[in-house]
């Protein structure tokens, strides 16, 4: 087994390698003066089962090109099998045509990864499950739920917890987590009655006196989470936490969350934490390195990955 790390999230790659007891394969991923990506693999990989770990987080296009070029380098070096391990798949929100003359970029990126030479893909909490069908190669979509559930069980009294979906589209994900901890489910229904008017948030479910947990796959600007937390507290919730897999946290999201009524935002390390995230008063990071490491180990041994979530 050979594990290669791109530049997007070196700490996660090192943690995965440590879990597996396998050193990271020596390779150079650097830039020419005009920022063109250059990759050189410094170890023999002929006939090896290889895993390229790279999230397509900010800067998304740079990290995507790094991954594609690393995959191409491995293919030309005669690696036996190449698995693209993408803890965060960046273009997943563009999974359909929202209007005329718009792209389906998730499918384009899937094509690029396949054509570059990947034999399979391993990712975590895809924004839309059907993206697995965009790939013409085997794709494993891992779920961060076991890691988040373990943290919830360690930190909270489950007798008074209510799981909340921040929008109608995330109900399936929230329901799955609620089932794991045997908690009731509520839904935030947000709507804008007229153009130019602020959103009205209605809460479906009785949250009064409950410790609410907002569950979602991605937090980007943080606006929806902050507004949902405010709406829940107005309806009598005792406190509100959020458990989110991918902490994109672009722009002023960290400042927005730090100033919000959220008691705590828990994210995974699928995306490397910025300094602002590390010092934020109410943001905490839990690691999915053991989860991905175990999935890599099972893939290499041709064992079941789905049984991780039974």
Is 26 an annotated catalytic residue? no
Domain residues of the chain, as ranges? 2-142, 145-287
Say whether 145-287 and 2-142 share the same fold.
Answer: yes
Look at residue 196 and tell me whether its pLDDT is greater than 60.
no
Is 151 labeled as ligand-binding?
A: no
Give the bridge partners for 37, in sequence order: 31
Q: What is the pLDDT, as a whole number, of residue 244?
A: 96
Is 123 labeled as ligand-binding?
A: no
Model confidence at 238, pLDDT cuts 50, 70, 90, reads very high
Give the bridge partners for 3, in sequence order: 24, 51
26, 107, 179, 190: the catalytic one is: 190
Chain centroid offset of residue 27 CA = 25
As a whole number, the mean pLDDT across the chain is 93
Name the CATH code of domain 145-287 (choices 3.40.1710.10, 3.40.50.2020, 3.20.20.70, 3.40.640.10).
3.40.50.2020
Q: What is the pLDDT, as a whole number, of residue 201?
A: 78
Reading the block at residue 126, the tokens are 């895809």
Q: What is the pLDDT, as a whole number, of residue 36?
A: 95
Look at residue 110 and tell me whether its pLDDT is greater than 60.
yes
Q: What is the pTM of this model?
A: 0.93
Model confidence at 200, pLDDT cuts 50, 70, 90, reads low
Q: What is the rounded average pLDDT of the residues 254-270?
A: 95
Q: What is the pLDDT, as a whole number, of residue 271?
A: 97
Q: What is the rounded average pLDDT of the residues 96-121?
A: 96
Look at residue 257 and tell me whether its pLDDT is greater than 70.
yes
- Quickly list H helices, 77-222: 105-116, 145-155, 171-181
Q: Cβ(198)–Cβ(190) under 8 Å? A: no
Is 245 labeled as ligand-binding?
A: no
Q: What is the pLDDT, as a whole number, of residue 195?
A: 52
Per-residue pLDDT of 22-57, as tens digits, reads 999 999 999 999 999 999 999 999 999 999 999 999
Residues above pLDDT 90, as percent of the chain: 89
CATH of domain 2-142: 3.40.50.2020
Q: What is the pLDDT, as a whole number, of residue 168?
A: 85
Is 63 labeled as ligand-binding?
A: no
Is 132 labeled as ligand-binding?
A: no
Q: What is the pLDDT, as a whole number, of residue 167?
A: 87
DSSP type of residue 24: B
């Amino acid at each position: 087994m050979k594990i290669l790390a791109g530049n997007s999230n070196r700490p996660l790659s090192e943690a995965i390698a440590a879990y597996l007891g396998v050193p990271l394969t020596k390779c150079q991923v650097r830039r020419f003066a005009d920022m063109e990506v250059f990759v050189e693999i410094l170890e023999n990989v002929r006939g090896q089962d290889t895993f390229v770990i790279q999230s397509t987080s900010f800067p998304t296009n740079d990290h995507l090109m790094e991954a594609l070029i690393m995959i191409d380098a491995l293919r030309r070096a005669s690696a036996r099998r190449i698995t693209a391990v993408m803890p965060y798949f960046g273009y997943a929100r563009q999974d359909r045509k929202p209007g005329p003359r718009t792209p389906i970029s998730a499918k384009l990126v899937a094509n690029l990864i396949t054509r570059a030479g990947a034999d399979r893909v391993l990712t975590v909490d895809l924004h839309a499950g059907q993206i697995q069908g965009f790939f013409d190669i085997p794709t494993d979509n891992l779920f961060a739920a076991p890691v988040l559930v373990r943290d919830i069980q360690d930190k909270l009294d489950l007798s008074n917890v209510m799981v909340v979906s921040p929008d109608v589209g995330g109900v399936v994900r929230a329901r799955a987590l609620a089932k794991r901890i045997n908690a009731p489910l509520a839904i935030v229904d947000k709507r804008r009655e007229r153009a130019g008017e602020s959103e009205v948030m209605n809460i479906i479910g009785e949250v009064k006196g409950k410790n609410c947990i907002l569950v979602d796959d991605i937090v980007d600007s943080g606006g929806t989470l902050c507004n949902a937390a405010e709406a829940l507290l107005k309806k009598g919730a005792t406190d509100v936490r959020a458990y989110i897999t991918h902490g994109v946290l672009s722009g002023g999201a960290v400042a927005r969350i730090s100033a919000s009524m959220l008691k705590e935002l828990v994210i995974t390390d699928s995306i490397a934490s910025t300094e602002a995230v590390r010092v934020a008063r109410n943001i905490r990071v839990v690691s999915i390195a053991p989860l991905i490491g175990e999935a890599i180990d099972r893939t290499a041994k041709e064992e079941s990955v789905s049984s991780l979530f039974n």
